[in-house]
């Protein structure tokens, strides 16, 4: 169950080997989370992450593999994950996502399709399934890792940004949909995060570490914040960004 | 109970609105986001069931449950019988997560004054006891009265006081039900001499999945065991339908009160140790927000019921047993989140301290002002805003004075000073295995949710309390870790044994029992990896 501060005793992470997910779970297990389900693509890495969490004090850690390019399976994957958690879960984290390929000339339609599927179609289907299960259990929190890339989509990575914008909007609408059902949805909008996903890319200003994102998410859940910006002042930076005329926006350094 | 009856759907036992019947049906189908309907409506007699968001008085950790309002004990029994059936489901749907959910689907709820998650069950069935409101005649010799579990102490006091009787034990609010007072085995300002509520209960009628049990402390051993397991058992043994309470005689509705002000905690505690036993009622308020001066300036109020002779023959004498009508003042909406901030708290505490006389003896005070200072303002919990608040109350042995000091100090240092602190001495423990009091000290602290250091400092406090052989009060808890429960309540297994004797499938359960692992303690197969074990890495 969630306690008075929204701290979970059980957590499910879809995209369980992402650096942000790893940092968040580390903090949750150090607190009072004892049941963890990690779902992801790579079985070996999932098992390694599960072993670390078990060492850190989790009493039940299960892993589930899935393929995020197949949104039609999302409902079944979610059901499997919940079963692995013992039927119920206090906190579900949606951390599925990938960046688009760096491009030299033109867009690759196949890559655009894959990015849209992995960042939007699969997470949206899974969130719909999760919300249904959590509403039925009468309590729960859903955290969706979005990105500032979706707040105003930049030319540099717009297939990714556009898909993130989609899942961000979907999650916020879902938050309204489930209001009053005992379930809440929190959207996390980090800036540039130093992680596996962004390795080799040039860091944007105000870059943060996965641990900082994890701490912000924990505080955001505690305070029941609907949108969690990391770092917090990006909220105000993007008020300005949204107002920039397109001619200036295009010229911003990538 | 015939087993055939248990198979009836809820809608046949109690009339359900259509929407509810549909969502019942949905439980077996694929999960869908329901359109929430009519969540805030209080169930009425003709439309008794609805889905509602429930939380405790602290307004934290809300969860949604179906609320039913049975009209009598028979309907309670039917609800329990239905909830205790194994969740068979339809063939082929055995993998549906809701069917793997842990046991514990039903819990009773009175006036919702437990601070935490004791009277709610996420996704389950909550029995609203407000229709179990019978008030029996008072036996003029012994003061025994049989009342329905949904009767509030307020109604019981209004019933009894004009006839010269008062409740034997009362918490700091009269807006608790008799059922809740039994389930939490509540204590009052007279615990150091007279014990907690259930020590003054002659008998209860307890509805369980295996039928109605009428048990009391003087019955056969297994009956007494069930009675004491229910005393402080947080509603987990069954639904209390009625209780026979032993009232105490009073001559007036006035109190004779001695008040003393102290500038530091040590003098206060020394005074309480030295002379509390001369007073029937005793409680101290401690200021945790003062910036200067020694820790723990405080106001100690102690007293007893005023005899008629103390009132004289004036207006007071004529209105010897009058009880003030409720003020009607209410907090209308959750306050903006920063209303109960440190400045307001400090100003309030300052005023409270200065208002109290430095030393005053035998002052006449109306009974409700003495026992229920906070009841004057309805829904005062809304002052803490949307995020709510937690109350932290622990009991510790007579040597626990240092822990009392450290609790106040550490929370203040963590940037989360308690807005209200109440210190009292407890008498010997009561017989219930989960009854809270321990002879010694008890300190209750209120904290608005919000300061980042609060959760951690309370976790550390839990460890210190457990190490000192103390415990936290489950009726107020919303955040204890399950790992510490066994150390704080070493007899918790007795509760489980009593539960299993009347509820073999453990169909009774609350968010609290699940959070604290009360449903698993000592159960066979505890080390079972669980139903998800085979799915790892599938």
- Least confident among B29-33, B39-43, B446-450: B39-43
Interval B104-108 mean pLDDT: 90
Q: pLDDT-derived band of residue B339, with 50, 70 and 90 as boundaries?
A: low
All structural domains of chain B: 3-131 (3.30.43.10), 135-249 (3.30.465.10), 254-479 (3.40.462)
Per DSSP, the three-state class of B242 is strand
Q: Which residue has the tokens 């033109």?
A: A106
**Which residues in chain B (427-456) have CB-CB distances under 8 A to chain A?**
449-450, 452, 454-455
Contacts of B124 in chain A (CB under 8 A): 138
Contacts of A135 in chain B (CB under 8 A): 31, 33-34, 64
Per DSSP, the three-state class of A88 is coil
Among A49, A90, A136, A142, the strongest candidate for a mutation testing the B interface, having the largest count of B CBs within 10 A, is: A136
- A148: how many CB neighbours lie within 10 A of its CB? 23
Q: pLDDT-derived band of residue B358, with 50, 70 and 90 as boundaries?
A: confident
Cβ within 8 Å, pair A136-B98: yes
Closest CA of chain B from A120, distance in Å: 19
- Which has more confidence, B340 or A90? A90
* CA B144 – CA B136 distance, rounded (Å): 9
* CA A44 – CA B46 distance, rounded (Å): 58
In sequence order, the 6+-apart residues with CB closer than 8 A to the CB of B420 are B285, B444, B445, B446
- At residue B87, the pLDDT reads 57
- At residue B93, the pLDDT reads 36
Nearest to B166, CA basis, from B154, B184, B182: B154
Q: What is the pLDDT of residues A19-55, one digit of tens each?
A: 999 999 999 999 999 999 999 999 999 999 999 999 9
Q: At residue B533, does pLDDT exceed 90?
A: no
Among chain A residues, the shortest Cα distance to B23 is held by A136
Closest CA of chain A from B410, distance in Å: 19
Q: At residue B95, does pLDDT exceed 50?
A: no
* Residue-range domain boundaries for chain A: 10-251
Percent of chain B predicted with pLDDT > 90: 64
Q: What is the pLDDT of residues A151-189, one digit of tens each?
A: 999 888 899 999 999 999 999 999 999 998 899 999 999
Contacts of A138 in chain B (CB under 8 A): 63-65, 121-124
* CA B444 – CA B425 distance, rounded (Å): 12
Q: What is the pLDDT of residues B259-295, one digit of tens each?
A: 999 999 999 999 999 999 999 999 999 998 877 778 8
Query: By the CB < 8 Å criterion, does B134 face chain A?
Result: no
- Least confident among A189-193, B64-68, B358-362, B487-491: B358-362
Closest partner CB to B33 (pick from A46, A132, A138): A132
Q: Please, what is the average pLDDT of chain A?
A: 93
Closest CA of chain B from A96, distance in Å: 17
**Which residues in chain B (14-73) have CB-CB distances under 8 A to chain A?**
26-27, 30-34, 36, 39, 53, 58, 60-65
- At residue A254, the pLDDT reads 60
In this structure, the strands spanning B63-68 and B125-128 are parallel
Residue B411: both structure tokens together: 């929370």
Structure letter (DSSP) for residue B197: G
- At residue B20, the pLDDT reads 43
The CATH T-level fold of domain A10-251 is: Rossmann fold (3.40.50)
Among chain A residues, the shortest Cα distance to B387 is held by A223
Residues of B72-88 as b/e, b for ≥16 C-beta within 10 angstroms? ebebbbbbbbbbbeebe
Closest CA of chain B from A151, distance in Å: 27
Q: Is A118 a catalytic residue?
A: no
- At residue B37, the pLDDT reads 43
Structure letter (DSSP) for residue A40: E
Residue B235: both structure tokens together: 């509603």
Pairs of residues, one from chain A and one from chain B, whose beta carbons lie less than 8 Å apart = 150
- Least confident among A91-95, A100-104, B456-460: A100-104
Percent of chain B predicted with pLDDT > 70: 81
Q: At residue B532, does pLDDT exceed 50?
A: no
Q: At residue B378, does pLDDT exceed 80?
A: yes
Peptide bond into A231 cis (omega under 30): yes
Q: At residue B521, does pLDDT exceed 70?
A: no
- Which has more confidence, A177 or B339? A177
Interval B355-376 mean pLDDT: 89
Contacts of B533 in chain A (CB under 8 A): 62
Cβ within 8 Å, pair A181-B34: yes
Contacts of B52 in chain A (CB under 8 A): none
Contacts of A181 in chain B (CB under 8 A): 33-34, 36, 53, 64
Ordered alpha helix ranges (H), chain A: 19-31, 43-56, 74-84, 109-116, 122-137, 158-177, 210-222, 234-243, 246-251
Q: What is the pLDDT of residues B151-181, one digit of tens each?
A: 999 999 999 999 999 999 999 999 999 999 9
Q: At residue B128, does pLDDT exceed 70?
A: yes
* CA A229 – CA A247 distance, rounded (Å): 26
Q: pLDDT-derived band of residue B327, with 50, 70 and 90 as boundaries?
A: low
Q: At residue B407, does pLDDT exceed 60?
A: yes
Nearest to B366, CA basis, from B210, B161, B508: B161
- At residue B170, the pLDDT reads 97
């Amino acid at each position: 169950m969630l306690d008075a501060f929204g701290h979970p005793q059980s957590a499910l992470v879809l995209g369980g080997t992402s650096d942000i997910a790893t940092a968040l779970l580390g903090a949750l297990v150090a607190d009072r989370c004892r049941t963890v389900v990690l779902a992801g693509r790579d079985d070996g890495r999932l098992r390694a992450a599960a072993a670390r969490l078990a060492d850190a004090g989790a009493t039940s850690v299960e892993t589930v593999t899935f393929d995020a390019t197949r949104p039609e399976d999302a409902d079944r994957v979610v059901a499997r994950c919940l079963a692995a958690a013992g039927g119920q879960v206090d906190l579900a984290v949606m951390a599925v996502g990938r960046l688009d390929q760096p491009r030299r000339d033109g867009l690759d339609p196949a890559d655009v399709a894959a990015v849209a599927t992995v960042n939007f179609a699969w997470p949206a289907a899974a969130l719909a399934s999760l919300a249904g299960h959590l509403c039925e259990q009468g309590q729960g929190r859903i955290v969706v890792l979005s990105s500032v890339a979706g707040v105003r989509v930049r030319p540099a990575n717009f297939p990714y940004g556009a898909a993130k914008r989609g899942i961000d909007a979907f999650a916020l609408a879902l938050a309204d949909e489930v209001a009053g059902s005992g379930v809440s949805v929190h959207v996390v909008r980090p800036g540039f995060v130093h992680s596996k996903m962004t390795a080799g890319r040039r860091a944007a200003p105000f870059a943060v570490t996965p641990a900082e994102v994890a701490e912000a998410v924990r505080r955001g859940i505690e305070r029941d914040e609907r949108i969690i910006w990391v770092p917090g002042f990006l909220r105000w930076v993007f008020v300005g960004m949204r107002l920039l005329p397109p001619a200036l926006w295009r010229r911003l350094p990538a | 109970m015939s087993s055939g009856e248990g198979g009836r759907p809820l809608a046949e036992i109690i009339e359900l609105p259509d929407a509810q019947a549909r969502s019942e049906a949905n439980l077996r189908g694929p999960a869908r986001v329901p359109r929430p309907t009519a969540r805030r409506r209080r169930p009425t007699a003709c439309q008794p069931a609805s889905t509602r968001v429930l939380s405790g008085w602290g307004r934290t950790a809300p969860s949604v449950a179906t609320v039913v309002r049975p009209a009598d004990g028979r309907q309670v029994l039917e609800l329990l019988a239905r909830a205790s059936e194994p969740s068979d489901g339809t063939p082929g749907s055995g993998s549906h997560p809701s069917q793997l959910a842990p046991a514990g689907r039903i819990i009773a709820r009175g006036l919702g004054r437990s601070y935490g998650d004791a009277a709610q069950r996420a996704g389950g069935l909550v029995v609203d006891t407000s229709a179990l409101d019978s008030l029996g005649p008072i036996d003029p010799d012994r003061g025994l009265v049989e009342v329905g579990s949904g009767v509030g102490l307020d109604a019981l006091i209004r019933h009894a006081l004009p006839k010269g009787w008062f409740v034997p034990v009362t918490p700091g609010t009269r807006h608790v039900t008799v059922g809740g007072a039994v389930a939490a085995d509540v204590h009052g300002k007279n615990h150091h001499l007279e014990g907690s509520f259930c020590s003054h209960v002659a008998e209860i009628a307890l509805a369980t999945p295996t039928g109605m049990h009428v048990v009391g402390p003087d019955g056969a051993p297994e009956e007494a065991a069930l009675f004491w397991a229910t005393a402080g058992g947080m509603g987990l043994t069954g639904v209390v339908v009625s209780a026979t309470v032993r009232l105490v005689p009073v001559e007036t509705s006035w109190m004779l009160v001695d008040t003393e002000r102290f500038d530091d905690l040590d003098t206060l505690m020394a005074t309480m140790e030295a002379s509390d036993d001369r007073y029937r009622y005793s409680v101290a308020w401690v200021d945790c927000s003062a910036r200067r001066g020694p820790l723990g300036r405080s106001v100690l109020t102690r007293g007893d019921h005023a005899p008629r002779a103390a009132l004289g023959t004036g207006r007071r004498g004529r209105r010897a047993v009058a009880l003030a009508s409720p003020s009607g003042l209410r907090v209308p909406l959750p306050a903006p989140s920063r209303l109960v901030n440190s400045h307001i708290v400090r100003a309030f505490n300052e005023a409270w301290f200065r208002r109290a006389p430095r030393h005053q003896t035998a002052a006449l005070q109306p009974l409700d002002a003495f026992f229920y200072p906070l009841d004057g303002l309805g829904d005062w919990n809304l002052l803490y805003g949307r995020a709510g608040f937690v109350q932290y109350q622990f009991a510790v042995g007579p040597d626990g004075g240092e822990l009392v000091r450290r609790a106040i100090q550490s929370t203040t240092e963590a940037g989360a000073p308690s807005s209200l602190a109440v210190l009292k001495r407890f008498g010997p423990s009561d017989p219930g295995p989960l009854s809270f009091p321990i002879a010694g000290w008890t300190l209750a602290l209120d904290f608005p949710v919000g300061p980042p250091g609060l959760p951690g400092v309370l976790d550390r406090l839990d460890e210190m309390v457990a190490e000192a052989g103390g415990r936290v009060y489950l009726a107020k808890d919303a955040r204890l870790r399950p790992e510490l429960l066994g150390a704080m309540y070493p007899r918790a297994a007795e509760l489980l044994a009593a539960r299993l004797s009347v509820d073999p499938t453990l169909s009774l359960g609350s968010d609290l029992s699940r959070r604290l692992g009360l449903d698993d303690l000592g159960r066979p197969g505890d080390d079972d990896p669980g139903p998800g074990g085979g799915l790892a890495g599938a």
